[in-house]
Structure 1
Amino acid sequence: MNPVDRPDARRRPGLHHGTIGPTDVRCLVEADESSATVRLTGVLDLAGADAVRDALLARLWQRPGPVIVDLSTVRVVEPGARAVVDDVHRTVTDWPAAGLLVLDPSGDPGGDAPVYRSLDEAQAALVGAPLAAVLNADLPPVVAAAREARALVTDGCARWGVPDLAEPACIAVTELVNNVVAHAGTPMTVRVGPRDSTLHLAVRDHSARRPAYAGLAPLTSAGGRGLLLIDTVARRWGSTPLPDGKAVWCVLHAEDEEAFHG
């Protein structure tokens, strides 16, 4: 995703807990840290959509599990501005333990994100869904972090009944962590969670530097094979820019391992 110009600071929403002052566009996160609701208030236009996206992504990483985005009090003044919510929904589909529900009394189906007309309906959908399984580890940017990340992944695969994914997942998470140590040099959070027969991994750091994969590295190359290994063991992988860094994620499928070993 290419960098874009940010709107004027007076129009930039952020993550706020508790009461806030009025602005043209503001993304309000309920003060209760256990709340699953993000409320958009004020005016949403195309100029502010990118900052809204940043705020929603930051909250979705901060709180594993589905989040309700409440559009009941926001005024959408330009066609297409609401699409930012569905863009966020698509972006986090492959993150571990992430999801987005939309509360929109108008019933506008929007795009891919499920839409509910009332808060009661949206909350009932959350209650009816199984609790998202997820494991996290906050790690420093040191070589030993990869060992701790592998232990986390191995534990998760045993808990969730996907032991065949432990080996490829350890390969992937090792490379993700080592990339942070070598290139970002910031503290990181490793997150892993299951979904049906898939395993979702993500490593979040605080560097804006995006991973670059140029295909197979030459045999004479001293490095550059980390992303190739991830591309080999994972069905999908990518990176998502966040306001103060990025999340690099990948998805592994149990049937891929069964076919390989079968």
Structure 2
Amino acid sequence: MRAEALQARVERRGDATVVRLGGVLDIASSPSLRSAVLACLAAEPAMIVLDVAELRHDDDIALTVLPALAQHAAAWPGSAMTLAAAPPQLASALDRMAVARLVPVFPTTDAALAGRAGQPAPAASGRVRATLAPLLDATAAARHLVGRACTRWGADHVRDVAELVVTELVSNVLRHAGTEMEVAVARDRRLLHISVRDRGPGMPRLGGQPRGEDAMLAEDGRGLLVVGALTQAWGCTPVPDGKVVWATLHL
């Protein structure tokens, strides 16, 4: 018997995103949940609330996708991810799999949005962004944006590293995508988040040697090796019209 498809209805609530899930979460449908959440992250919401009131699961193992997504959201774009309205059977499974210790669970979506129940939802304390044309002065403009943000937020101790990271990310766009880009920098209590979104094809490979169109972004590996060496984490998130390459620094 074919499993029921997973449904995801997305709502914007101010600077937050609510994803109302229905159907069955299992090993086969967990990639659909991952894709839905990553698509929401492209808009860089302050938080994502997964309303699971209508969600069922056939296998506890499938629930492990939830903390993995929460970790990705926290790394980039610094969004909090919470769960809300879990029915009793699902709530028991979340506790059994220790998911509830890693992802905050609220009784209702409104409570999650308000950060009640003694678990205030973390939110970025600052975010700035700029849209840059694919011109040679884009790297200088990106460094200026990041440098000013670091000074404003009292993070001058990571300013030089942050400027170097954004230079590498913007240079990659200029060399390989050649499209307009959006540079963003955000700060929360522990991390500085830097991201560059472009509209070019291809994805940098996060491990191993690039193949096919991925080789477009390979440079000779040095740029992303620098980013990897300087940051707490980095990655690439596909979006409908391109991709976002992001990195995080400890404050």
| Higher percent of residues as helix | 2
- In terms of mean alpha carbon deviation, does 198-207 or 47-56 score higher? 198-207
Q: Deviation of residue 209 (structure 1)?
A: 1.8
Contact 1:105–1:118 (8 Å) recurs in 2: no
Distance 1:157 1:176 in 2: 17
Q: 2:106 aligns with which of 97, 116, 119?
A: 116
Counting matched residue pairs gives 228
TM-score (norm 2): 0.77
Q: Does 1:41 align with 2:27?
A: no
Distance 2:153 2:198 in 1: 26
What is the identity, as a one-letter code, of the residue corresponding to 2:234? W
Distance 1:226 1:45 in 2: 38
Residues 36, 209 of structure 1: CA spacing in aligned structure 2 closer, same or farther, 3 A cutoff? closer
Q: 1:142 aligns with which of 112, 135, 139?
A: 135
Residues 31, 227 of structure 1: CA spacing in aligned structure 2 closer, same or farther, 3 A cutoff? closer
Identity of aligned residues (%): 35
Q: Deviation of residue 179 (structure 1)?
A: 0.7
Q: Does 1:253 align with 2:246?
A: no
Which structure 2 segments of 5+ residues have no match? Answer: 210-218
Q: Residue deviations 1:135-165, cap 9 Å, x none? A: 1223333332222211211121011111122
Distance 1:97 1:86 in 2: 14
Q: 1:210 aligns with which of 187, 204, 222?
A: 204
Residues 154, 31 of structure 1: CA spacing in aligned structure 2 closer, same or farther, 3 A cutoff? closer
What is the identity, as a one-letter code, of the residue corresponding to 2:106? Y
Distance 2:245 2:66 in 1: 21
Distance 2:179 2:208 in 1: 24
Contact 1:70–1:102 (8 Å) recurs in 2: yes
Q: Does 1:76 align with 2:57?
A: yes
Q: Deviation of residue 90 (structure 1)?
A: 1.8
Residues 121, 171 of structure 1: CA spacing in aligned structure 2 closer, same or farther, 3 A cutoff? same
Matches within 5 A, 1:7-156: 24-30=5-11, 34-103=15-84, 104-106=86-88, 107=91, 108-109=94-95, 110=97, 111=99, 112-125=102-115, 128-129=120-121, 131-132=123-124, 133-156=126-149
Contact 1:101–1:115 (8 Å) recurs in 2: yes
* Aligned residue in 2 for 1:257: none
What is the identity, as a one-letter code, of the residue corresponding to 2:104? P
Distance 2:59 2:179 in 1: 39
Greater RCO (Cα-Cα under 8 Å, separation 6 or more): 2
Q: Deviation of residue 198 (structure 1)?
A: 3.2
Distance 1:232 1:82 in 2: 32
Residues 85, 197 of structure 1: CA spacing in aligned structure 2 closer, same or farther, 3 A cutoff? closer
* Aligned residue in 2 for 1:16: none
Residues 140, 61 of structure 1: CA spacing in aligned structure 2 closer, same or farther, 3 A cutoff? same
What is the identity, as a one-letter code, of the residue corresponding to 1:165? V
What is the identity, as a one-letter code, of the residue corresponding to 2:203? R
Contact 2:16–2:47 (8 Å) recurs in 1: no
Q: Residue deviations 1:171-199, cap 9 Å, x none? A: 10010111122123333322211233532
Residues 131, 151 of structure 1: CA spacing in aligned structure 2 closer, same or farther, 3 A cutoff? same
TM-score (norm 1): 0.74
